Structure 1
């Protein structure tokens, strides 16, 4: 099955000149969604992670069912102020300003093996920050996985030597 056939392209969203790759159509197609989870599971299980970390919010859509499928824990990486209890924050630079992501203080134990998940890898800024946050908390980040990668934005280059898996790539 060609998963790319199930991605809707939305021109000029969220602003003029941007071509948005919408996974809603993939999620709505039961066979394509199942195939997506199975393909990612084959890659992720080789890393023998203790926990899967999903980045808000579409990363949750991947990490939660994969964690269930593989019999392991799932944790959320969220924007500041969205998690209850004590958190570990990480602030990073954006093109204009800064943003902060957080995990709950007890979400990860030092040395735990983690695979990071999101729907899309574009410029790599959010994933780079999420990896830095996980390492700050003592995690052993084994792999990054996503459905779509926009190769032309070179986000992979910001992630150092961590292996990256993407099921669908766009080169322009």
Structure 2
């Protein structure tokens, strides 16, 4: 039950944040985004001598928040991640819900379609705890982005490539 309390708080706060962010304008579908990721997940061995790894995937939805910073986009994302088994046997994967704030900074000095991103969030699943990440992305079209990120979680490191559809 203790694991579900942060999840319920996070889920219940998303609509409130979106509502407060839009200054009474209500829900705006054009601020939504949907995405999927493929990842390479690494868990450091607690006994030394190396680490173990497994492939994984995530699906997520995001909502863009309003801000007054030029060339910066802020979103709140919620998603579900699942890895393959790290070892043979039952319960040797990492899965669960997560929620994160993501900041994207456009980099027009380098390329008008390039952006850097940073993420800070909370993993509510098997690798529960704070997650922190950084990466880069590219706008393929005004509605489609690709991203590459490194995310550090409590017990694992994640290298992921994402596809994002902006509405």
Q: TM-score, normalised by structure 2?
A: 0.29
Considering only CA atoms, is the larger Rg found in Structure 1 or Structure 2?
2
Q: TM-score, normalised by structure 1?
A: 0.28
Structure with the higher strand share, 1 or 2: 2
Structure with the higher helix share, 1 or 2: 1
